Structure 1
């Protein structure tokens, strides 16, 4: 588990001391006297000779300090078995979306090639320790918190000690192979999807769709070479079970197209456009990069959040909200998020109350940019918009025309962002839904209120309808605060590893990809 309790630390360290540097004799008795000690001043020599491992210097020093400067991976009988498990995982690290090779990989390979007669030297022990921290930093931790914030990610990061985590692994080496709780479950689903796309890449990927410049759309019954190309493309990614190579837009292609569009939150309209053809032409290498970027984002979320009794999760690029109880989706809704100039912030909060028939207290920035110019042109502007002055600010009165709709969900935060209803229902019919000033508009706001209030406050749907249409603001506190996570994932996989790709609405993938593909290990 990622969050190791401090009160368990002493016990873990005791296990660690026995298991990490000692081997079992033939009678199964652990012999601590076989542990090898060394002079702590020699650590600096290792880092001088291996400067690319200095990024792990703090962790390595902490590890050996806790071990009272004894070898971790070797005893007088040789290397402990768990080192082989770790080495195998590092060799398969590409499957975890890690694109940069470990420093001094050749030296480590030569070390593990010596199955017999491997020397119990300090340099060898330190090489294995550095390999361990390379693995945990890249597969489990990801880039540091400061760097993730630079990409616009303000969700809380888990605080993990991989020195302590090693104690668990030494106790149960198979944990590294079988455990899928170190990251959120979506990480492992994307990992499965990554394997699929890497296999597609190994087979040559797919070609471009040559969509005719003089054609606007294709519909069922039309014939063109591009239709056959699209058929093959959908077959490669599993949206079609067969590829008959036909260039006729038949019902089979229509069904495969509908499957693809549904997976990507599109309306299955049975039409092929130039835009769709361009999307299907995106190279498999770019799709792999997108999966890797989103696996990295998964590393930044504490998996413990999925154990919350209730959770509201919004994925900005998917324009979707999910309300979960005990890890299972109770309600899913389309949402509208902030436009490019008013990006919805990636962060979390605790929903503590719901407001029915809300006022809209208009932000000063909107008052200056929109309200005052409107008043200058029209003296009746406030009255026509059902607005009023209130202590030097402007607010919109409750009602069906209120920009917040009939209900809002509050999780107090410095970003002044919340979830709310909207009278502009037509926006939910659009595929791209980045239109708001930063808050999240919820299509099924009334249903969300009913689901939450029925579970917590035993407030009936009828009472909620009355409160929403009362025209008088009413706040109701929740008996139990609900975590709200607003995240940013441009790739999302289902249980079978089928990956859905979403529009990178805030253009954040490229910057993160550059960090992952160019950073030094």
Structure 2
């Protein structure tokens, strides 16, 4: 009997321990579950509090729809708090919004004092607070609007920007940042890469400004030019100016125009779209005297333009880009520039439009169908003065309009490149080759004249087995007008950037040929 009792006692003891252990584990799990249920991420707030918040914080009313969308997606749970208080991204975001000037944004942050008080008082930001939660969300959309999106599309159209605007959900982007806060420090926001290059040089120019910028260069009114070997007080001033912006590596303070200064002058002219020679003219001095504050504003204005373009365009296998102020066309293949060409753009009265369209056709030995406006304003008055005007200019009547016959004298030259659009703008050759040697090349009626049309045609049809350079040459110089439909449509982007950082990290400034920078600056910078 005793032998039988011992196993029974052991069994009962083991069973008791198991039941106690399971009960304790169950109690612990229940406590853990209760704790998890009480965490901010699992706490639901009343959706009507969003409306109450924006009544109180009316300066952020613009962002109410996005805030509502955010919380509908999250079923009205807190997103800026975890069990330790304001989460990691919240603190990172606070640092970002405090450094908006680094993003080229000059603005007043609504309720900044309230935000500072929240993040400065570590003891009071541990528990979820609906005002703190919604203020963070509203200011996030304020930040995204200023840094990633920029001006509204309607505003950009009003100032003549018809390139397609990028589309991005900043609600979804916030979800990504909450999962991986470090993303906000990476160049992965869909902004054109040029934005970040300009952002870097903005910091450089702000450092120059902190050190006092550069002094104005004074030159005798009777001095028409300065050349190597010349000696003048202005030479020393120019040398100092170029040293500050890194166009020369040292400042000898010499007042003699020597080889070192000549190297700097060539570098400066290259960066500013000037003819590359060593002669310094009064207009070059005027350019150097543009203040560092004005240069900073120009950089910021062009950072804004970058916000409007998705970096997806750079993923195109082939891309043709024209920058109007630079008077330059760039053909990109697989992201690399394979051809650059000078261009002539529309004069101030006939501005070339900023837009994009796919190139579909190349026309060899084209007719030029004279636009009705040119016919009325220029051709008909010329015919009245000279009855032989049409014959002398290789023109003829065709039904009720005038056209110029194909050939070397044709205003479109020997080839044109068509990307059909409502602006009636295209690229073309020209018999007026001398204009490409001018610094300011805004002469056309709106279309874009290309200095290297034959090379452009060859590059476009490089992989087309139907064509080769010899056949292109023949098509341009003999026969009648011939249209060819491209096998691959190539996106053409016509843009407007007065500051641009090249692939070597060199900052270029270009004249604001259509006076658009100041208009944009007035829209951007809060008074």
CA deviation digits over 1:431-475, x for unaligned, max 9?
Answer: 000000000000001100011112245510000011111240111
Whether 1:249 and 2:257 are equivalent positions in the alignment is yes
* SS of alignment partner, residue 426 of structure 1: helix
Residue 495 to residue 356, structure 1, CA distance change in 2 (3 Å): closer
1:67-78 matches, cutoff 5 A: 67-78=74-85
1:181-200 matches, cutoff 5 A: 182-200=190-208
Aligned match for 2:370, one of 358, 362, 366: 362
Whether 1:228 and 2:236 are equivalent positions in the alignment is yes
Q: Which whole-Å CA distance do the structure 1 matches of 2:110 and 2:337 have between them?
A: 43
The match for 1:125 is 133
Task: Please provide the CA RMSD for this pair.
Answer: 1.5
Per-residue deviation, 1:33: 5.8
The match for 1:93 is 100
The match for 2:396 is 388
CA deviation digits over 1:460-508, x for unaligned, max 9?
Answer: 0000011111240111111110000000000001346432110100000
Q: Which whole-Å CA distance do the structure 2 matches of 1:495 and 1:102 have between them?
A: 34
Whether 1:109 and 2:109 are equivalent positions in the alignment is no
CA deviation digits over 1:8-39, x for unaligned, max 9?
Answer: xxxxxxxxxxxxxxxxxxx9xx9576222111
The match for 1:17 is none
Q: Which whole-Å CA distance do the structure 2 matches of 1:291 and 1:432 have between them?
A: 21
Q: Which whole-Å CA distance do the structure 1 matches of 2:194 and 2:99 have between them?
A: 19
Q: Which runs of 5+ in 1 are unaligned?
A: 1-26
Aligned match for 1:503, one of 484, 508, 511: 511
Per-residue deviation, 1:278: 1.1
Contact 2:187/2:196, CA 8 A, preserved across alignment: no
CA deviation digits over 1:361-419, x for unaligned, max 9?
Answer: 11100000111111111111111111111121111110000000000000000000000
State TM-score, norm by structure 2.
0.91
Contact 1:351/1:481, CA 8 A, preserved across alignment: yes
1:314-463 matches, cutoff 5 A: 314-463=322-471
Q: Which whole-Å CA distance do the structure 1 matches of 2:229 and 2:188 have between them?
A: 47
* SS of alignment partner, residue 252 of structure 2: coil
Per mean C-alpha deviation after superposition, the further-off stretch among 216-225 and 199-208 is 216-225
Residue 437 to residue 457, structure 1, CA distance change in 2 (3 Å): farther
The match for 2:248 is 240
State TM-score, norm by structure 1.
0.92
* SS of alignment partner, residue 88 of structure 1: helix
May I ask how many residue pairs the two structures share in their alignment?
491
Per-residue deviation, 1:265: 2.4
Q: Which whole-Å CA distance do the structure 1 matches of 2:403 and 2:238 have between them?
A: 52
* SS of alignment partner, residue 235 of structure 1: helix
Q: Which whole-Å CA distance do the structure 2 matches of 1:138 and 1:297 have between them?
A: 12
The match for 1:62 is 69
Greater relative contact order (Cα < 8 A, sep 6+): 1
Whether 1:136 and 2:144 are equivalent positions in the alignment is yes
Per-residue deviation, 1:40: 1.4
Q: Which whole-Å CA distance do the structure 2 matches of 1:37 and 1:194 have between them?
A: 43
Contact 1:367/1:394, CA 8 A, preserved across alignment: yes
Per-residue deviation, 1:181: 5.1
* SS of alignment partner, residue 191 of structure 1: helix
Whether 1:46 and 2:32 are equivalent positions in the alignment is no
Q: Which whole-Å CA distance do the structure 2 matches of 1:340 and 1:56 have between them?
A: 38
Aligned match for 2:158, one of 150, 153, 158: 150
Per mean C-alpha deviation after superposition, the further-off stretch among 464-473 and 438-447 is 464-473
Per mean C-alpha deviation after superposition, the further-off stretch among 271-280 and 416-425 is 271-280
Q: Which whole-Å CA distance do the structure 1 matches of 2:508 and 2:146 have between them?
A: 24
CA deviation digits over 1:126-152, x for unaligned, max 9?
Answer: 111122112111111001101111111
The match for 1:205 is 213
Whether 1:290 and 2:293 are equivalent positions in the alignment is no
Larger Rg: 2
Q: Which whole-Å CA distance do the structure 2 matches of 1:219 and 1:180 have between them?
A: 47
Per mean C-alpha deviation after superposition, the further-off stretch among 403-412 and 220-229 is 220-229
The match for 1:268 is 276
Q: Which whole-Å CA distance do the structure 2 matches of 1:456 and 1:86 have between them?
A: 51
Q: Which whole-Å CA distance do the structure 2 matches of 1:353 and 1:295 have between them?
A: 33
Q: Which runs of 5+ in 2 are unaligned?
A: 1-31
